[in-house]
C-alpha cells in the first residue's frame, strides 16, 4: 500500500479531498501529510450552495503522532465566493473551524485533560500551555452549545473561594445528576437572580428543593424568584455541621488558653479529634478519645451538643423533626457556651429550612463531594489568577458536558 493510500485511510480522507504526498523529515522528527482538493466548485460553508473558487490559503494542523514522529497535515484550503455570503473558507472534514489541530488530536488532548493539569498535558505532548488550554476552552464552548438549557428540579447552590483573598464564585448544582449547571462570579444576590431570571415562571414553579448554606443573599434570591420557596429551601447537614464544628473549635481554643495558663495541656493538639466525624475515627483513636469526650471540660460539652445535632437527621415527620430540634435548641441555648449559643440562635432562625432538608431527604453528599472536586481542580492548576479560566475548568470537569468534536467516538 502506498503512503498516500495508507494515510488517506488512517485520516479518513474522502473525495473531493485526497492525500497528494507524504514527507518524512527525520531530522525534525516530523511527518508531513499534504492534502489537496482540486474541485472547481465547492459548497458554501454557510448555505451549502455550490460556488466557484476564489483562491486558496495555506493551513497546517497537528495530528496524532506516527510512532515517534509528530504528524502534520498540510493543505492549500480553498476559499469560495458565494453570491449571498461573500468570500469564505471552505470547511475541512478533519478539523473544526478555527482550530490548528485535527479532531482526533483534540479528542486525545481532551481525554488527557480529564486526568492531569493543562501544564502537565502540554509538557507531555510538546505543546504550549496556551494551545492546550485553547483545546479545553473550545471543548467547553462546544459542550455548552450542545447542552439543552433546563432548570433542575433539585438545585444545590454553593460558594467556593476563587483565591486566598475573599473572592468567590457561585456554583449551581443539579443535585440529582451531580453536575454543575451554572458558575458565576461573586456570591451576591444578583449573581443568583440573573441565573433564575433566565427561566420561565412555569420552570421556576417546578423546582422541588434548593439546598444551600444560610447565606442571606442566596436565601433572598430564591425566596423572591421561586414560588413556595419557604418549603423548598433546605439547609443540609453538611453546612449545619460546619457551623457547629467552628463553634466547638472556638470553645476549645478559649478553654485551651485558660488551661495552658495554669499549666494544664490536656487540650493541646486535640483540635482534629473534636472535629472528626466519629465514624471516621479508628477504634484505637476513639478509645483514646474517651477520657476527653466524657470529661467535664466545656469543650466536651460543646462536642456532645454538636454530636446530638448530627443525630437529628433521621426523622421523616416534619412535626417530630421540629420537636427534636426545639428540644436540642433548649439544651444549646442554656449551655453557657457562647459560640454554641450563637450557632443555636442561627439554627433557630433557619429551622424551617433544616426541617425541609430532613423531610425532603436532602443530603450533603453531592455538595460536599462537588466542593472537594472544585478544590482539587484549583489545586491541580496551582490556583487560578483568571476567574474565567477557573469557571471554564469547573465546567470542563464537572459540567457533564459533551466535550468531544462531532463524529469522535469517546
Would you call 182 helix, strand, or coil by DSSP? strand
Tell me how far apart the terminal alpha carbons of the chain are, to the nearest angstrom.
29
Would you call 273 helix, strand, or coil by DSSP? helix
Q: Tens of pLDDT along 96-105?
A: 988 999 999 9
d(CA 118, CA 112): 9
Q: Tens of pLDDT along 324-333?
A: 999 999 999 9
DSSP state letter for 278: G
Cβ neighbours for 172, distance < 8 A, ≥ 6 positions apart: 155, 156, 157, 180, 181, 182, 183, 192, 195
CA quadruple 244, 247, 248, 249: dihedral positive or negative? positive
pLDDT of residue 303: 97
Q: Tens of pLDDT along 212-266?
A: 989 999 999 999 999 999 999 999 888 899 999 999 999 999 999 999 999 999 9
Is residue 168 within 8 Å of residue 187, measured between CB atoms?
yes
What confidence tier does 386 reach under pLDDT thresholds 50, 70, 90? confident
Is residue 362 within 8 Å of residue 212, measured between CB atoms?
no
* Side-chain half-sphere CA neighbours of 371 within 13 A: 17
CA quadruple 218, 219, 220, 225: dihedral positive or negative? positive
pLDDT of residue 383: 53
Backbone φ/ψ region at 408: left (φ over 0), alpha (ψ -120 to 50), beta: beta
Pairing, β 209-212 against β 233-235: parallel
Which pTM value belongs to this model?
0.85
**Sequence ranges of the domains in the chain:** 3-144, 237-360
Amino acid at each position: 500500500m502506498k503512503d498516500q493510500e495508507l494515510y488517506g485511510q488512517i485520516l479518513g480522507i474522502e473525495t473531493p479531498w485526497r492525500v497528494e504526498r507524504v514527507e518524512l523529515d527525520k531530522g525534525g522528527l516530523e511527518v508531513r501529510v499534504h492534502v489537496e482538493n482540486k474541485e472547481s466548485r465547492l459548497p458554501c460553508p454557510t448555505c451549502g450552495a455550490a460556488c466557484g473558487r476564489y483562491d486558496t490559503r495555506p493551513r497546517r494542523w497537528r495530528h496524532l503522532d506516527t510512532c515517534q514522529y509528530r504528524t502534520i497535515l498540510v493543505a492549500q484550503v480553498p476559499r469560495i465566493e458565494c453570491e449571498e455570503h461573500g468570500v469564505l473558507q471552505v470547511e475541512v472534514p478533519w478539523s473544526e473551524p478555527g482550530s490548528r489541530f485535527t479532531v482526533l488530536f483534540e479528542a486525545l488532548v481532551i481525554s488527557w485533560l480529564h486526568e492531569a493539569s493543562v501544564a502537565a498535558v502540554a509538557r507531555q505532548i510538546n505543546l504550549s500551555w496556551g494551545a492546550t488550554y485553547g483545546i479545553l476552552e473550545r471543548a467547553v464552548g462546544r459542550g455548552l452549545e450542545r447542552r439543552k438549557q433546563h432548570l433542575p428540579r433539585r438545585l444545590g447552590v454553593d460558594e467556593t473561594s476563587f483565591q486566598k483573598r475573599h473572592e468567590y464564585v457561585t456554583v449551581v448544582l443539579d443535585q440529582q445528576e451531580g453536575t454543575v449547571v451554572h458558575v458565576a462570579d461573586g456570591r451576591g444576590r444578583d449573581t443568583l437572580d440573573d441565573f433564575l431570571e433566565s427561566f420561565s415562571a412555569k420552570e421556576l414553579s417546578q423546582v422541588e428543593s434548593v439546598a444551600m448554606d444560610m447565606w442571606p443573599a442566596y436565601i433572598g434570591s430564591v425566596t423572591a424568584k421561586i414560588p413556595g420557596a419557604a418549603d423548598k429551601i433546605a439547609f443540609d447537614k453538611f453546612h449545619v455541621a460546619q457551623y457547629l464544628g467552628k463553634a466547638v473549635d472556638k470553645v476549645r481554643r478559649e478553654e485551651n488558653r485558660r488551661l495552658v495558663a495554669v499549666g494544664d495541656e490536656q487540650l493541646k493538639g486535640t483540635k482534629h479529634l473534636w472535629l472528626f466525624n466519629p465514624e471516621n475515627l479508628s477504634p484505637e483513636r476513639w478509645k483514646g478519645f474517651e477520657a476527653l469526650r466524657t470529661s467535664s471540660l466545656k469543650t466536651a460539652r460543646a462536642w456532645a451538643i454538636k454530636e446530638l445535632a448530627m443525630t437529628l437527621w433521621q426523622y421523616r415527620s416534619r412535626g417530630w423533626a421540629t420537636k427534636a430540634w426545639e428540644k436540642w435548641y433548649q439544651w444549646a441555648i442554656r449551655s453557657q457556651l457562647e459560640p454554641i449559643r450563637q450557632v443555636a440562635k442561627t439554627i433557630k432562625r433557619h429551622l424551617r429550612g433544616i426541617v425541609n432538608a430532613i423531610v425532603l431527604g436532602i443530603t450533603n453528599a453531592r455538595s460536599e463531594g462537588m466542593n472537594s472536586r472544585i478544590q482539587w481542580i484549583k489545586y491541580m492548576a496551582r490556583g487560578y489568577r483568571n476567574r474565567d479560566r477557573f469557571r471554564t475548568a469547573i465546567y470542563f470537569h464537572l459540567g457533564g458536558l459533551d466535550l468531544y468534536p462531532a463524529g469522535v467516538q469517546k
